[in-house]
């Protein structure tokens, strides 16, 4: 993608990075940006060399400030649901269902739709300077991109109600305490931690990561027993499992292909 694009995309080794780059508007999401994000996700899906996808920001103030109110503010009620919300949900669902691990790098604040974008990722690491929250109630709206559902899955209904009803943001440290982000780190430690996580994920079995993500999704549907049976069978049938068992018995490091 072009360097002057609102969404940047690049691949370095086995790691792909989507960078929100609409700094002048605090990375407020537009339909065009959603299309660019989906295009990048599709590229990651097709590229067998990519092992990890990161979502970052080029802004020092915001990871993403939410959905651009200039895009949805004047929409008719019907079009708000059928166009803007449906478009975002499709893109965020594709991100959430990507078989490869995804990481939201919250070096700055994620609010509204930006928070929902982060919640669609597998892992979230934040700077202690960042905040997260759902301010929609202050403008007569609600989180429309499955943020309510994903947050309930993470922290339960009580915490979710607090964020949605009050509309206040919370610090990254508090978000870490609640289990919304995996860690809240000092700004100068954040990138080092992200690099370490990416390095670890690249060493893991592709099959285990892919099936593990599917397993979690199946558990969310309320069928954990069947999901575990499926996951165990798929892993056991893979070359990775054969190599892993052999390496364990031979007391050596496994070499996954």
DSSP string, 20-74: E--GGGTT-B-HHHHHHHHHHHHHHHH-TT--EEEEEES-SSEEE--B-HHHHTT
According to DSSP, the residues that pair with 12 across neighbouring strands are 15
Task: Please give the pLDDT value at position 226.
Answer: 65
Asked whether 168 and 137 are in contact (CB, 8 A), the reply is no
Please identify which of the residues 49, 56, 136, 229 carries the catalytic annotation.
Answer: 136
- pLDDT band at residue 216, thresholds of 50, 70 and 90? confident
Provide the token pair at 25: 């508007």
Bridge partners (DSSP) listed for residue 112: none
Q: How confident is the model at residue 139 (pLDDT cuts 50, 70, 90)?
A: confident
Catalytic residue among 49, 76, 116, 162: 116
pLDDT-based confidence at 75, cuts 50/70/90?
A: low
Alpha-helical (H) ranges within the chain are 31-46, 69-72, 77-79, 86-96, 113-119, 147-166, 172-178, 187-203, 206-220, 224-236, 239-249
Q: List, in order, residues 6 or more apart from 194 with CB less than 8 Å away.
A: 54, 103, 105, 125
Burial of 186 (0-12, 13-18, 19+ CB in 10 A): exposed
Residue 42's pLDDT is 98
Residue 118 CA to its chain's centroid (Å): 4
Is 162 labeled as catalytic in the residue annotation? no
- Identify whether 136 is a catalytic site residue: yes
Q: For 122-136, 174-188, 213-227, which range has the lowest pLDDT when averaged over its residues?
A: 213-227
């Amino acid at each position: 993608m072009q360097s002057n694009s609102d969404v940047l995309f690049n691949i370095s080794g086995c790691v792909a990075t989507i960078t929100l780059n609409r700094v002048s508007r605090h990375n407020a999401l537009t339909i065009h940006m959603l299309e660019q994000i989906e295009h990048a996700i599709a590229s990651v899906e097709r590229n067998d060399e990519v092992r990890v996808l990161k979502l970052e920001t080029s802004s020092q103030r915001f990871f993403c400030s939410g959905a651009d109110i200039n895009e949805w503010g004047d929409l008719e009620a019907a079009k708000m649901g059928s166009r803007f919300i449906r478009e975002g949900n499709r893109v965020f669902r594709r991100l959430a269902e990507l078989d490869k691990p995804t990481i939201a790098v919250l070096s700055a604040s994620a609010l509204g739709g930006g928070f929902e974008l982060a919640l669609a990722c597998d892992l979230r690491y934040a700077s202690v300077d960042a905040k997260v929250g759902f301010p929609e109630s202050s403008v007569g709206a609600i989180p429309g991109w499955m943020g309510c559902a994903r947050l309930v899955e993470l922290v339960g209904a009580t915490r979710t109600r607090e964020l949605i009803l009050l509309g206040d943001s919370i610090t990254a440290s508090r978000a870490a305490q609640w289990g919304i982000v995996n860690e809240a780190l000092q700004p100068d430690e954040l990138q080092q931690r992200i690099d370490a996580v990416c390095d670890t994920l690249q060493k893991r079995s592709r099959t285990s990561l892919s099936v593990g993500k599917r397993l979690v999704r199946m558990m969310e549907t309320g069928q954990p027993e069947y999901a575990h049976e499926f996951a165990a069978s798929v892993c056991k049938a893979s070359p990775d499992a054969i190599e892993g068992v052999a390496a364990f018995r031979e007391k050596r490091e496994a070499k996954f292909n």
